[in-house]
Each structure stands twice: as C-alpha cells, then as structure tokens.
Amino acid sequence: MTYQNLLLSIDSGIARVTVNRPDKLNALNQQTLIELGLAFAAFKSDPTVRVVVLTGAGPKAFVAGADIAELVTLSPTQARDASLLGTRVMSAIEQLGKPVIAAVNGFALGGGLELAMACSMRIGSDKAKLGLPEITLGLMPGFGGTQRALRLMGKAAALELMLLGAPIDAARAHALGLLTQVAPAEQLDEVVTAIAKKLALAAPHALRGILDAVNRAGEGAIEQALEFESTAFGLLFATADMREGASAFLEKRPAQFRGA
C-alpha cells in the first residue's frame, strides 16, 4: 500500500521503515501511528521479512515526540483513545516476533522515545538526545513510556527522566541501558546495517522464542517464565533450522537457516 508518512523498503530479509515528516521533526500524529500499525502488521505475516530497521527522516530527529498541534485539540475521551492507539502500535512493534532495531539518528523525545523503547534494540548516534519531557507540558507519557522506561532503566533512572523532563545525551542513555550501543553519527547506518544483516541470517524460530520469552513471559512470575522458556526451547527441536544449526556446528560450516 501507499503510505503518506512512512518510507518503506525490503531487501535481503531486512525491512527499513523511515518516519517521513522531517518538517515536523517526524512527530507522531494519528495518521503516522495508523500507518506504523499497518506496516508492522504486514511485516508480521511476511515470511521474507527477518528483521526491521526503524528510523526517522532528515539529520535532526528520529522522532521528536507526539504531534502537539494535534494533541491540544483533543477532548479527554479523544486523548484516551489516542493514547490507546499509540499503546497498541508500540505493543505490536514489541511483540512482532522479529527483531526491530531503532536507529536513533537524532532527537528521540516523548512519543519518539516510547517508539524506540518498543524496539528490540536501540542503536544511537553520538549526537542523539533522548528524553520524556511530557511533564513540561503538564502531561505524562501515554504510549507505554512509564512502563518500558521502568523495565529498561530501573525505577530511579526512569523517574528522573520523567519527573524532571530533561533530555539526556547518548552516552548517558547507554550507561543507563536505554541505548544498546552508541555509534558515531556518520557511521550509524553502517553499524545498524551490520547488526541487521547478522540478525537476518539467524534462525527465525529461535529469534521469536527469545523475543517472546523476554517480552511476554518476562513480565510474569519467575516460575511461569521458566516454564515458558523450557516449552519454547523444546519446540525448537521440531524445526529444520535447529537440525541445520546442529549439523553445521558439527560439520564446521556456516548454517543456512530458512525459517523452517
């Protein structure tokens, strides 16, 4: 389909999604959220897509936040609906069952940071700025930010980020566990592409097992989470990829995983 606010491409198992509103610093309006939901629903059902890279257009921003001009027009009921839409989209990204890499090329603030936190990995430019500044507008995160910040950084750092509202640089974000890795701005695409290519060659069923064990089972009690892990581990023994991986190891050759 044709998207108004996204640029999409798929090559060698890697889908690339660019939020394309550079004149608005790629702010998330309702249309963009709907399009992200549709794109990721298509990726989920497309076996040729092994990994997704998500970034923002232009040199300044990944996504600078929600579209405030649109938000201020909402009634309380409409605002709740907007929050639920954003939450559904973020959850769909987090629960895709395929790795999603956020290439944080600039500002990732508010809804933009919430979008990045829904991804499996976050690779940031050394010039990136990250934050949850909703408090400065008399608001709070509404796309899952309170919960994902807590789980990624811990209570103290999450509360600091949300209560003070001040952005942090890439180095501090990495130290807090918010960024997976930091790369020089001019090398960000190269670093992200290398990681994406490696993931695209991995066994899809095993990738999904890991992601589900962390994102789904990891939120429950340890006993149930461990049982989930053991079940997922056992099910992988029914896949051709597991047999291929074991054979390749024993034969000292690269494995060729086909998602079977």
**Residues involved in catalysis:** 114, 134
Neighbours of 210 (CB within 10 A): 15
Q: Residue 154 region, left (φ>0) first, then alpha (ψ -120 to 50), else beta?
A: left
CA dist 113 and 179 (Å) reads 11
CA dist 157 and 90 (Å) reads 21
Neighbours of 217 (CB within 10 A): 18
Coil, helix or strand at residue 180 = coil
Residues 6+ apart with CB under 8 A from 120: 94, 99, 100, 101, 211
Coil, helix or strand at residue 25 = coil
Coil, helix or strand at residue 2 = coil
